[in-house]
């Protein structure tokens, strides 16, 4: 049975394709993403409050490493195979090294819809994977220069809206703990799937608008936007199983590695690496990889995880 949140995405996509005047006002899009990010952060934080942080440290270390490694691997591929200039390769690599919170939420919904178990602390990984790829991306684009405006750059990285909301939510959930947040649950937790549905409606509208850029940038991007996520998902699932996650948990980690950022990274790259063409990375991450993961990727990654689990 098809999850209705997916239907909202398809609905938005079609409405935009047929040039309907349907629009979600920017202020509402902001509200939706604020709610999603805080809630995911809080869910992670609540789990941290339940188990000793130290016990999660090894997993967190591995996940951080993934975030540093992916862009290092992807960037040369993009330069060699894709013939992209240095800054563009670095920027696209950073997008794919980081994660898409929307994709994560859809993966969690998939788990719950199909009653698949997963580790409750997975949202912590989302927070961990946001940032490393941005740092690597900037270094790849600029090299390590003496006169680098690190103040400005680290501000962009750590104080961008997406990262701040995730970390803020994490901290609130951690400090308040499972009981503390009871009274704010109706807004942040009970409405979560509905909010996600509206968010995906808007993502559908935006995604369809990216398509027009596709023809300008050839079909390398299409291939890249589909093949790379699958390969990264396999890697992510493998690492997840290796570090002891359940099949569900490994699937979600695979989905995270397969997903590409379209909130935190674009903003940071636009400021820190101005000469990278933002249309390239957004077309790939939002126009191809996001719909691919959400519509067909996640179930495939789950099958892969089951197979690899053996």
Partner 1 sequence: MSTEKELITIITEAVLETELCKKIEQLGATGYTVIDVRGKGHTGNRGGDWKESANIQIEVVCNAHLAEVITHTLETNYFDDYAMIVYRSPVTVLRSDKF
Binding site for partner 1 (CB under 8 A): 21, 23-24, 26, 29, 202, 205-206, 209, 213, 262, 266-267, 270-271, 274-275, 278-279, 282
Q: Which does 181 bind (CB under 5 to 8 A by kind): partner 1, a second copy, Na ion, none?
A: a second copy
List the alpha helices (DSSP H) in the chain.
4-17, 26-50, 53-80, 86-97, 101-113, 122-130, 132-142, 150-159, 161-180, 185, 192-216, 220-242, 247-258, 264-272, 278-282, 290-292, 298-309
- Residue 255 phi/psi, 5-degree rounding, is -65, -40
251 near 118, Cβ under 8 Å? yes
**Chain-centre distance for alpha carbon 124:** 13
Q: Which does 22 bind (CB under 5 to 8 A by kind): partner 1, a second copy, Na ion, none?
A: a second copy
Q: Which does 57 bind (CB under 5 to 8 A by kind): Na ion, a second copy, partner 1, none?
A: none
Using the minimum distance from each CB to a second copy, give the nearer residue, 164 or 226. 164
Output DSSP code: residue 81. T
Using the minimum distance from each CB to partner 1, give the nearer residue, 115 or 147. 147
Q: Which stretch binds Na ion (CB under 5 A): 4-12, 39-47, 96-104, 176-184?
A: 96-104
CB of 225 to a second copy, least distance (A): 26
Using the minimum distance from each CB to partner 1, give the nearer residue, 21 or 179. 21
CB of 125 to a second copy, least distance (A): 21
Give every CB contact of residue 16 below 8 A, 6+ residues apart in sequence: 22, 204, 205, 206, 207, 208, 209
Using the minimum distance from each CB to Na ion, give the nearer residue, 174 or 290. 290
Question: Interface residues with a second copy (CB under 8 A)?
Answer: 1-5, 7-8, 11, 15, 18-28, 30-31, 34, 109, 112-113, 155, 159-161, 164-165, 168, 171-172, 175-177, 179-181, 183-188, 190-191, 193-195, 197-198
Residue 45, token pair as written in the block: 């934080």
Using the minimum distance from each CB to partner 1, give the nearer residue, 113 or 154. 154
CB of 279 to partner 1, least distance (A): 7
Q: Please name which of 163, 175, 167 lies closest in space to residue 261, comparing C-alpha atoms.
A: 163
CB of 182 to a second copy, least distance (A): 9
DSSP code string of 52-77: -HHHHHHHHHHHHHHHHHHHHHHHHH
**Residue 310 and residue 116: Cα distance in Å, rounded?**
16
Q: Which does 282 bind (CB under 5 to 8 A by kind): Na ion, partner 1, a second copy, none?
A: partner 1
Using the minimum distance from each CB to Na ion, give the nearer residue, 173 or 266. 266
Cα–Cα separations (whole angstroms), residue 114 to 161, 218, 305: 32, 37, 15
CB of 68 to partner 1, least distance (A): 25
């Amino acid at each position: 049975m098809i999850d209705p949140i997916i239907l909202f995405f398809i609905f938005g996509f079609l409405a935009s394709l047929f040039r309907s005047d349907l629009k979600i006002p920017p202020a509402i899009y902001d509200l939706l993403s604020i709610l999603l990010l805080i809630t995911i952060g809080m869910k992670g934080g609540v789990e941290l409050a339940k188990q000793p942080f130290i016990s999660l440290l090894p997993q967190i270390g591995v996940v951080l490493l993934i975030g540093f490694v992916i862009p290092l691997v992807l960037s040369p591929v993009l330069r060699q195979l894709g013939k992209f200039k240095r800054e563009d390769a670095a920027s696209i690599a950073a997008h794919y090294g980081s994660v898409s919170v929307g994709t994560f939420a859809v993966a969690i919904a998939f788990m719950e819809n199909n009653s698949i178990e997963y580790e409750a602390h997975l949202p912590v990984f989302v927070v961990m994977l946001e940032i490393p790829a941005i740092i690597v991306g900037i270094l790849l684009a600029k090299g390590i220069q003496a006169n680098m405006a690190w103040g400005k750059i680290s501000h962009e990285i750590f104080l961008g809206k997406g990262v701040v909301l995730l970390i803020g939510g994490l901290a609130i959930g951690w400090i308040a703990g499972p009981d503390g947040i009871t009274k704010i649950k109706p807004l942040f937790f009970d409405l979560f799937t509905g909010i996600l549905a509206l968010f995906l409606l808007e993502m559908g509208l935006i995604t369809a608008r990216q398509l027009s850029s596709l023809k300008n940038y050839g079909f390398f991007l299409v291939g890249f936007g589909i093949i790379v996520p699958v390969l990264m998902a396999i890697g992510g699932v493998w690492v997840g199983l290796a570090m002891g996650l359940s099949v569900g948990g490994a699937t979600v980690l695979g989905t995270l590695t397969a997903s590409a950022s379209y909130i935190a990274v674009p903003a940071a790259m636009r400021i820190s690496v101005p000469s990278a063409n933002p249309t390239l990375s957004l077309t790939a991450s939002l126009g191809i990889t996001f719909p691919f993961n959400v519509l067909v990727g996640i179930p495939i990654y789950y099958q892969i995880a089951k197979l690899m689990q053996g």
